[in-house]
Amino acid sequence: MCEKREESITLAIDRDKESQNALKWTVDNLVSKGQTLTLLHVKLKQSSSLPSGNKSSDDGAELFLPFRCFCARKDVLCQDVIVEDMSAAKGILDFVQKNAVETLVVGASKMTLLR
């Protein structure tokens, strides 16, 4: 007997309000209780190689906290992923290809909509 595989859903997030709105929409429309949602953040690489210390790991944990809390309230499991790339778009696409993501959700600023 074949067991149905859970759909792979990834939400690309950042520190903006649109990411929080995208999370709410994703949980309300795509994710079932108990399902795992991958939260993906692209940390942009700096062109210069300045030492960053441990600040980046602290920032990553802080970034994911409100998203994790929302998922926990909705009984949705979440997996936090941070990738580094020179471009957010390239980092997201590389992750989607390498991990066979079936559904990708991204938030969009109202200012970037075509008029």
| CATH value at residue 26 | 3.40.50.620
Q: Are the beta carbons of 6 and 35 closer than 8 angstroms?
A: yes
Q: Is residue 115 part of a domain?
A: no
What is the domain range of residue 19?
A: 9-109
* Per-residue pLDDT at 7: 84
Give the chain's domain count. 1
**Per-residue model confidence as pLDDT tens for the chain (115 residues):** 455 557 899 999 999 999 999 999 999 999 999 999 999 999 998 866 555 544 445 567 899 999 999 999 999 999 999 999 999 999 999 999 999 999 999 987 665 555 4
* Per-residue pLDDT at 61: 81
Q: Which two tokens stand for residue 46?
A: 């700096």
* Per-residue pLDDT at 59: 67
* Per-residue pLDDT at 54: 42
What order of strands is seen across the sheet that includes strand 36-44?
77-85, 36-44, 9-12, 103-106
Q: Is residue 3 part of a domain?
A: no
Q: Is residue 32 part of a domain?
A: yes
Q: Is residue 101 part of a domain?
A: yes
Q: Which two tokens stand for residue 34?
A: 């108990």
* Per-residue pLDDT at 110: 64
Q: Is residue 70 part of a domain?
A: yes
From the list 4, 40, 6, the residue with the least C-alpha distance to 22 is 40
Instruction: State if pTM tops 0.75.
Output: yes
Q: Is residue 95 part of a domain?
A: yes
The torsion defined by the Cα of 105, 109, 112 and 115, in degrees rounded to 10, comes to 100
Q: At what angle do helices 55-73 and 17-29 cross, to 10 degrees?
A: 40
